[in-house]
Structures are given as C-alpha cells and as structure tokens.
Amino acid sequence: MNDDRRITSGEENRQWPKLKMEIPSEKNEETDPEEKRKTDPRADARYRKQILDRKRKRERMRKILIGVMALAVALVVLLAGSGIYALTKGKGHDEKENAGNTDKDGAVTALSQTAEPATEEPEGPSLPLQIEVQNEPVEDLESLDTELIDWGYGPDRDESNRPADVLYYQEIYGKYHAHFVVPTEEKIIYLTFDEGYETGNTGPILDILKETDCPAIFFVLMTYVEENRELVQRMIDEGHIVGNHSINHPNHGVAAESLEEQRKEVVEVHNYMLENYNYKMWLWRYPSGTFNEQSLALVNNLNYHSLFWSFACRDYDESSPMSASDMLQAALDELHPGAIYLFHAVNRGNAEMLKEFIIEARERGYEFGLFTGDPSVTVTSRAAVAPVKDAGGQQSE
C-alpha cells in the first residue's frame, strides 16, 4: 500500500509541471482568444463576459460624457443669452422692410423682404421697445366689397360709455388690422392729431405732451412732412408715433381710387419718411374716414394698421370753430376704456385745453397710452417706444 501511495504521489508530482504550463496558457487566452474559445466553452463564456463588461463600461462613460457636454452647452447658452439681452436691451430689434408686389390688376397680393442691413447705426434716440409690423397678406382683393363707408358713430353707448358703432365695426373689420376702438376694460386713452397743414399749434401741443409725459400719434400729409421738418423730427425724437395720412387728402376719399392709386397714396409718403427722416411708418388713417373692405385689405397687405377713432368733435370746422372750453367738455363727457381720440392741430382750442384735459382725465382714473397695435400691450410712457427706424429698404412703387 505504501508503494501504491508513492506511485500515486509520484504521478501527481509528475502532473504538476503540466498544470504549471497550463497557467500561462490561461493568461494568454486574451491574446489568442479564438483558439481557446474553440476548445473551451468556459473560456468562451469568460471572453463574452469580458466583452460585455467592456461595452457596459464604454456605455457608462459615453453617457457621462454626454451629460457633461449637455451641461456645458446649457451653460454656454445661458451665458450667451444673458450677453445678448444685455447688448440688445435699450436698443430695440432690427426692423425688416417689406415691399408690396402687384399682380396684373395692380393689387398688392404678397409681401417680400427687400431690406438691406444698415451699415451704420441710425441717428436719433435709442429706446427700449420698437414696433414691428408683419401682417398676413389677404388674397384676392378684387373679390372684396368696394362699397364706400364714411366712418362716424351714433349716439348709442354701452355700459362703459363706448359708442356701440365702434364695437360693431371693430368686430367686422378688425381682421384687417383696422382699429375703431381698443378692446380693453382698462382706462386707457390714445391721443391722435391729424396734421394737414401747420397753423402754429403743433409746437405748443408738443410742449404740453412733453411736460405731462403724454404720448400721441400725429398723422401727417406729404406736404406737411415736406414743409415742417423740425416739427416732424421733434415728434420722432420725443417718442411719439408719426402716422401716414396720404399724399394730399383727397376729398372724395382714398378708397374711391383704383388699387394702384391707393397704394401710391400710402407708399409715397412711406418712402419719403424713410428717405428723409430714416423713419418707418406703420399706422394709416383714411382722409375723412372714408374706406371700404377692399381698401382695408390693401393697407393690411402693405404692412400697415388702419387707425380710426371712437371720439371726435368738429374742431376742424374753421367757419364755426369750437371754443377750448366746449372741446374740453366734449372730450371729458365721452371718456371710455380703449378710446381713440381724434383732434385736429389746426384748431388753437386743442392746444389751449389739452393740458387741462390730460390732468382731468388722469384724476378720473384714466391714463394715456401709446398705440402698439396689440390690445394686450399697454404702453403709457413716451420713452417706452422708440421710433421704428430702418436705413434699408423701401416700399416698392
């Protein structure tokens, strides 16, 4: 038995070198995996596990890297956004110019961008908010109603003292960016002055508006902007809006003319203001308030809003002029939310009663807004809206 044990023990000893030789073989398994995997299922399983572990590790690293990159991008965007806001605050936004294209019948049917970027920053004040108009074009103008309407409201009022007619017309024609009243319950008044010719009253009116920090809109004819450059420039520099009132105020109404003539009435004044004042108009007022549906759509396609009124008095009648006290009383009697007030600067009484009207209206809880075209945006300070300037394109003729 002792011999058997020795033999057995000897056989075991003789196998040790074999085992020692197999150990390095396992270590080299990774360097030559294909041969080992063909003969040893366990080696194949270990190899697959190693590959899977490496893939999982790479996937974890990839996810970590993606997360780090996402955080870095978010940080860059946040910092860039803060920088852009700081740079643009107080300077407004670049204004794009749109030109009207005419179809074979002379109707403006589409708008194209033709503005070139300004090479130099325009002169003049740089204020926080600018108004940019981009209307959706109305197709097929020829199919729209051409019956002329002479705007005016009747005596009926709603519970807020608003003329019933302005609410009715606003509902019908508001889709063409026409404004007869601003639909709001806020006690906001919008002052507008029509400027046909100068009688020495516009300067004092501007003085009062500046003193009371009250914004306004001045609708001007071509002859007015040609002959009264200092006053028009002052309107712009003091933060008021200068609106388009046609070339020469045709008595029969602009809407009675052909589409091409109507477009000319708007475009020529627009381009003159752009070339000579570096100022881009966007508000239009029909001479005498005479309009029709087709004309409203045309003006809309020229990227304008049409501004009518919900208060007016006969301050334009020089043969029987109203006194300052009569005009003041009429203006106070018709106060209502979202009111658009029309005055004519030719009447001296407007300048005489204006300051008292502003003070009294404020005492009754009203404030004076600068029109933005959006009833949800209320601006009550002249300094809050910059002149919309554009040294680039023009409305095409």
User: What is the reported pLDDT for 7?
Assistant: 43
Beta-carbon-side half-sphere exposure of residue 162 (alpha carbons within 13 Å): 23
| Cα separation, 48 vs 154, whole angstroms | 90
pLDDT at 338: 97
Question: What is the reported pLDDT for 67?
Answer: 75
> What's the pTM?
0.67
114-120 long-range CB contacts below 8 Å, 24 or more apart? 114/392, 114/393, 114/394, 114/396, 115/390, 115/392, 115/393, 116/392, 116/393, 117/392, 118/390, 118/391, 118/392, 119/391, 120/391
Where are the chain's structural domains?
Answer: 18-87, 90-384
SS3 state of residue 220: strand
- Residue 156 pLDDT: 96
- Residue 304 to residue 246: CA distance in whole angstroms: 13
- Which CA distances in Å does 29 have to 20, 21, 42, 47? 15, 13, 11, 9
Residue 321, classed as helix, strand or coil, is: coil
Strands (E), 166-213: 178-179, 188-195
The whole-number pLDDT of residue 58 equals: 74
pLDDT given for residue 395 in this prediction: 56
What pLDDT sits at residue 47? 67
What's the CA dihedral at 74, 80, 84, 85 to 10 degrees? 50
Residues annotated catalytic, as ranges: 194, 344
Question: In this structure, are strands 98-102 and 108-113 parallel, antiparallel, or unpaired?
Answer: antiparallel
Of 353, 378, 2, the residue nearest 201 (C-alpha): 353
- Give the integer Cα–Cα distance in Å for 113 and 97: 6
Please report, in tens digits, the pLDDT of each residue of the chain (397 residues total): 444 444 444 444 444 444 444 444 444 444 555 665 556 666 666 666 677 777 777 777 777 877 777 777 777 767 766 555 444 444 444 443 444 444 433 333 333 333 333 334 334 333 334 577 889 999 999 999 999 999 999 999 999 999 999 999 999 999 999 999 999 999 999 999 999 999 999 999 999 999 999 999 999 999 999 999 999 999 999 999 999 999 999 988 999 999 999 999 999 999 999 999 999 999 999 999 999 999 999 999 999 999 999 999 888 776 667 889 999 999 999 999 999 999 999 888 899 999 999 999 999 999 999 999 987 777 876 655 545 544 344 554 4
Is 180:154 a contact under the CB 8 Å cutoff?
no
Q: Is 162 helix (H, G, I), strand (E, B) or coil?
A: coil
In this prediction, residue 382 carries a pLDDT of: 64
Nearest alpha-carbon partner for 327 in 241, 245, 205, 221 = 205
Asked if CATH classification 3.20.20.370 holds for the domain at 90-384, the reply, yes or no, is yes
pLDDT at 77: 66
Whose tokens are 């294209």? That residue is 101
Gap between the Cα atoms of 264 and 287, Å rounded: 14
> How do beta strands 305-307 and 178-179 pair?
parallel
